[in-house]
Structure 1
Amino acid sequence: MRYFKDLKTGDYIILALAAGFLGAVWYQLAFEINYDWDWSGIPSFFVYHDPETGYQQNVLLIGFFNLIRIAVYSAILSIILGMGLALMRVSERRWMNWTARLIVEFVRNIPPLVFLFIFYFFVSDMIFPVLGIRSFAQWLGQSDSAVVGFFFGDRIFIENLIAGVICLSLFEAAYVSEIFRAGIESVGRDQREGARSVGVTRFQEMRYIVLPQALQKTVPPLVGQLITLIKDTSIMSVISIQEFTFAGSEMVVSSGRIFEVWITVAIVYFIICYALSAYSRRLEITQQGRKT
């Protein structure tokens, strides 16, 4: 109930527009195209009951868990890589600055789908054997541990999952680095000069003065970038990674319930992203309140 009290007029307008859009789609299909709606099978696409083994995960639930895995792992890795690139961008060493800038500009100016194809079909085949990632994925695939299944899902697709996570992390890190760079550069120069005047080293300056303030300022935009990352996981389906969108396409083919499945997939994405968006706005309001 507290969440609904915090909603503003704009939130209700967005929810009303979303409900109106879904209603318009339903009306068009039900009365104009004469589509035979059947939502009864949707729950079984997530969980079904086997008389012998009991309740089992179905394709959509497996895809949803893979979506969460890809999003969490990619978010962690992209934050680490993005922070490294941001520190290189603000470095006083020119070669580090230009190297990071070249990487960021290269990634940001390539469409994500093109970047995904280039990395998955060309780069990963060259670097995975060298880095031992392929042998590591094969070793995990041979394990019967429940822990491996929890963290990586279906053992057959572990290498695909790792490739997708690395690719998405590299792509998102370019944008995360710009968020961190903006946060670092927002810290007043007078604070840095004051720190250096008392003998603080460059490392100590970044660790104790600049980064704590920068990280606090970058949390809301990082949450916003996480929303983009979650939506970008859908492009993993083009390289047969078993995430939520890919699972939806499989259920459409097997069941023939085209609109029911895709509307369900859209609703799940909307709930996750809208909840994160509301959380991001709350963080911004909290920070503004602290400043005042």
Structure 2
Amino acid sequence: MYKKNIRLKKSDFIVGALFLMVCAATYYRVEIGLNYDWNWGKIPQFLFRYDEASGKWVSNVLMWGLFNTIRLSIFGTLLAIILGTIMGICRSSKVVFFRLISGTYVETMRNLPPLVIIFLVYFFIGNHLLPYSHLGDALQGRDNLLVTLVTFCLAPPESLTTFLSALFTLAIFEGAYITEIVRAGIQSIRRGQWEAAHSLGMTKYQQMRYIILPQAFQRILPPLAGQFISLIKDSSIVSVISIAELSFRANELMTGTLLTMEIWITVTVMYLMLTLPCSIAIQMLENRVARGLK
């Protein structure tokens, strides 16, 4: 096999020297100039602790926040895909009313700061819609499989309404971006596919269901997966409405222990453990889809 010879240039040595200088300056600021008393020994207990009652190691504060972040990301993505698919079809519709509704939704969500959207949607859904459903009250006090499943997948009954408010908030916010992804996927399908489906006597619903959407989703699968990573990162926004996800737990822990750098570096690593494998998987998915479309 032919191996290409790599020849280092003068510019490579200059860039390498600058990189080493930056690393040395960073190390100096952290270890000497920062004047910070590092205490990494206390961090593991915030991840897992030994429960003397059960005699087992159990998760602790930071892991609780990580689990909530995973729940918000998974179910928020599912809801956002459902909402984005419906709105994406409306954006591609010939009916002016559908295009107007979906266009207003997309432009509103994409042109407002995320924090404003979080507060508007959260207080509207959390204070005026979900409390009347009495979901949490119906589950409280019961001990059955449904309560266990809801607690594991979403949240305990007493905090279910708050969790669902945050979940719907993320879904509505991210759904606007998925709408545009779905619209682009539908419009990328050649007109001949529509005409061929029409010639077979299919209705508009059948054309979209069996012909157009399967091809469109094959093309938009990589950007949809990328939106999942975006939602993992955006889930930290809901910490401002007291949702106990990873950033909220870290902020609480930092306030109580004053281990500022240790806690936030740990949280950074935990977020990277979630997003980097997803990024690698998306890259592999993009390569596979690209080969399939050739």
The answer, yes or no, to whether TM exceeds 0.5 is yes
Identity over the aligned pairs, expressed in percent? 38
Aligned twin of 2:96: 94
Farther off after superposition, 34-43 or 184-193: 34-43
Q: Structure 1 residues 154 and 41 mapped into 2: Cα distance closer, same or farther (>3 Å)?
A: farther
Task: Structure 2 unaligned segments of length 5 or more: list them.
Answer: 1-20
2:126 touches 2:162 (CA, 8 Å); kept in 1? no
Equivalences for residues 37-186 of structure 1 within 5 A: 37-54=38-55, 55-130=57-132, 132=133, 135-144=134-143, 145-186=147-188
Residue deviations 1:229-278 (CA, integer Å, cap 9, x gap): 00000011111101010111111122221101000101111221121111
Query: By how many angstroms is 1:208 displaced?
Result: 1.4
Q: Is the 8 A contact 2:47 2:60 kept in 1?
A: yes
* Residue type at the aligned position of 2:257: S
1:96 aligned partner, one-letter code: F
What are structure 1's unaligned runs of at least 5 residues?
Answer: 1-19
1:245 alignment partner, one of 244, 247, 255: 247
CA RMSD of aligned residues (A): 2.0
- Report the AA paired with residue 142 of structure 2: S
Q: 1:108 to 1:240 in 2, by over 3 A?
A: same
Deviation at 1:143, TM superposition (A): 3.5
For residues 268 and 232 of structure 1, what CA distance do their matches in structure 2 show?
15
Q: How does 1:20-39 map to 2 (within 5 A)?
A: 27-39=28-40
Greater Cα offset, 192-201 or 229-238: 192-201
Letter in 2 for 1:169: A
The 3-state SS of whatever aligns with 2:181 is helix
Q: How many residues align?
A: 270
Give the deviation of 1:112 after TM superposition: 1.1
Deviation at 1:160, TM superposition (A): 1.3
Mapped contact 1:30–1:37 kept (Cα < 8 A): no
**Contact 1:140–1:148 under 8 Å retained in 2:** no
Q: Which runs of 4+ in 1 moved over 6 A?
A: 20-24
Greater gyration radius = 2
Give yes or no for contact 1:244–1:265 (8 Å, CA) kept in 2.
yes
Give the Å deviation of 1:56: 2.9
**1:116–1:77 distance in 2 versus 1, CA, 3 Å:** same
The residue type paired with residue 276 of structure 1 is: C
Q: Find the counterpart in structure 2 of residue 9 from structure 1.
A: none
Residue 281 of structure 2 corresponds to 279
Residue deviations 1:30-62, cap 9 Å, x none?
A: 211221112112111011113334333211011
Q: Against the structure 1 CA distance between its residues 276 and 27, is the aligned structure 2 distance closer, same or farther, given a 3 Å change threshold?
A: farther
SS at match of 2:38: coil
TM-score, normalised with respect to structure 1: 0.86
CA distance in structure 2 between the aligned counterparts of 1:100 and 1:159, rounded to whole angstroms: 27
**Structure 1 residue 194: Cα displacement:** 2.4
Tell me what 1:3 maps to. none
**TM-score scaled by structure 2?**
0.86
Equivalent residue, structure 1, for 2:7: none
Specify the SS of the correspondent of 2:253.
Answer: helix
